[in-house]
Amino acid sequence: MNLLDGKLVSAKIKEDIKVEAAAFTAASGRKPHLVAILVGNDGGSETYVASKMRNCELVGFDSTNIRYDVDITEEQLIAKIKEINVDPTIDGLIVQLPLPKHIDPDKITEAIDYRKDVDGFHPINLGRMQRNLPCFIPATPYGILLMLAHYGIDTAGKKAVVVGRSNIVGSPMSILLARNSNPGNCTVTLTHSRTQNLAEEVLQADIIVAAIGKKNFVTADMVKPGAIVIDVGINREDSTETKSGFKLYGDVDFDNVAEKASWITPVPGGVGLMTIVGLLKNTLEAAKGTIY
Ligand code: GUN
């Protein structure tokens, strides 16, 4: 088993981003600037946004976290997004998901100017991604591609099985792996809650992407010897063992699956760190104007 080490790869790519950000700042007189909107106080979302902001500072970006109480209206939120859309000092905007039930995430996603949509969730970016055109790629799938590329893993012709069809990870990941690009050129199966014989589908995979949000969902009996296993799960459980008061578990039963896999990502220390890198790269591209 070889480890796909998110700590190592993310640190290396962040060094490159830092150099590019400094060059951008020297040339333009301002730093790349990411704004993150956080509604309410979901524990996971708070942690993720804090980490995004911290990493922006680390690579020399400006970052602003705008927080709203859980009772903000959809109209108020859209009004703020429209303000940011036309603010030339802001390059990228993300609205952290999930949102409270009274706010429609699709309306919010479409309110964001696609040229500032560094989450890559806007239908224009998704459509352009499917067509293999320049676009913002959703941060987690983007991070996974960067990880595969870093280790020089040849994905062409391989059978990839994605577990979970979320808008954020599973669906875009399935498109990206199927594209005529590198990494890509896979034969992709996208599995979900209504898939029959899911374990048998996963067992066929040369590449498994587990993004279903269930602790230890992928077990060793579902894994073909030599498979490449990408674990997107970040399942939080309260714990007295850690300083933070919680412990993270992936969607993959790491200890047993690692014995069969050729490559595997750990949790923590795998895909989560690469997601940040995907977001930082998108924000830098947004500032430089190289995509739009
Ligand atoms: N919630 C979980 N992952 C993400 C993400 O990548 N972006 C946003 N905006 N919300 C999320």
Tens digit of each residue's pLDDT (9 = 90 or more) over 22-78: 999 999 999 999 999 999 999 999 999 999 999 999 999 999 999 999 999 999 999
Tens digit of each residue's pLDDT (9 = 90 or more) over 212-252: 999 999 999 999 999 999 999 999 999 999 988 999 999 99
User: What is residue 126's predicted lDDT score, i.e. its pLDDT?
Assistant: 98
Closest ligand 1 atom to 140 CA: 6
Ligand 1 atom 11: the closest Cα is on which residue? 97
Q: Containing domain of residue 193, as a range? A: 139-274
Name which of 190, 186, 170, 166 is nearest 178 in CA terms.
186
Q: Is residue 215 part of a domain?
A: yes
Q: Is residue 120 part of a domain?
A: no
Tens digit of each residue's pLDDT (9 = 90 or more) over 30-45: 999 999 999 999 999 9
Domain co-membership, 96 together with 144: no
Number of structural domains the chain divides into? 2
Tens digit of each residue's pLDDT (9 = 90 or more) over 146-182: 999 999 999 999 999 999 999 999 999 999 999 999 9
ipTM exceeding cut-off 0.95 for this assembly: yes
Which CATH number characterizes residue 200's domain? Answer: 3.40.50.720
| 71 flagged as catalytic | no
| pTM for this entry | 0.97
Ligand 1 site-directed mutation target among 119, 122, 248, 277, most atoms within 8 Å of CB: 119
Task: Tell me how far the alpha carbon of residue 168 lies from the centroid of ligand 1, in angstroms.
Answer: 7
